[in-house]
Structures are given as structure tokens and as C-alpha cells.
Amino acid sequence: MHHAAVHVNRMFAVLLLLTFFLVSIAGCGGPAALESSEAFASADALYTALTARRTDLLQNVTTRLRALNEEGKLSEDALQELTEIIDIARDERWQEAAEILDAFIRNQPEHSHAH
């Protein structure tokens, strides 16, 4: 009987460590927040550019995102994440970029752009 209790305790410890490990890898947060309505609108415009596969719109949005960052309306983290998505599109992987952006927008913290 004692052996079974030790086995259960070891399994519990392993599961606890595994859970801690997975949580630490995944982190508690999602994508960088879009802090302003302008940033959210620009992410929406980026989605339009991606689904239309239009490099001219992609460039316009890129310029706008950088300006929003300089104005303090878009964080460095959000700019970095959006720039990575833009780079995927520039690599002619439009659909992949659109799917990643869709997830980015859907996983925004509630009311993150209401400031």
C-alpha cells in the first residue's frame, strides 16, 4: 500500500511540474495590445491589404503603423508583431499572414483600443 501512495505522489509532482513548465512557456498574455482606436483601425486596414493581396495597401499600412508608433499610439511590441506579419505577406504568403493577423486581432484584450 505504501508503494502505491509514493507512486501517486510522484505522478502528482510530475504533473504539477509539467503544468508549471507549460504555463511558463505559453506565458499569461496574448498578443501585444492595440492601445488606440487608430491602431485597431490600422490592423483592420492591414487585414484588407492582406486579403486583397495588394502591396500598395501593405506599404500604406506599414507607413501608418510606424507613424502611430512614433506618436505613442502603438507600442513597440505591437509594431514588431504586425511587422512580422507584414514580412510574411512580403514573402508572398498572403493567406498565412491573414490568418495570423486574424488570430492577433481576435485575441486582443477586451477594450484594449478603447483609450
15 and 53 inside one domain: no
Identify the pLDDT of residue 30: 73
**Whether the Cβ atoms of residue 42 and residue 58 lie closer than 8 Å to each other:** no
64 and 18 inside one domain: no
Number of domains in the chain: 2
Question: Domain residues for 94?
Answer: 37-106
First to last CA, the chain: 60
* Phi-psi label, residue 84: left if phi above 0, alpha if psi -120 to 50, beta otherwise: alpha
**Ranges under pLDDT 50 in the chain:** 13-28, 114-115
20 and 51 inside one domain: no
Asked whether residue 83 is assigned to any structural domain, the reply reads yes
Asked whether residue 112 is assigned to any structural domain, the reply reads no
Identify the pLDDT of residue 109: 84
45 and 70 inside one domain: yes
| Cα distance between residue 42 and residue 2, in whole Å | 63
| Cα distance between residue 14 and residue 103, in whole Å | 32
Identify the pLDDT of residue 35: 86
Identify the pLDDT of residue 39: 96
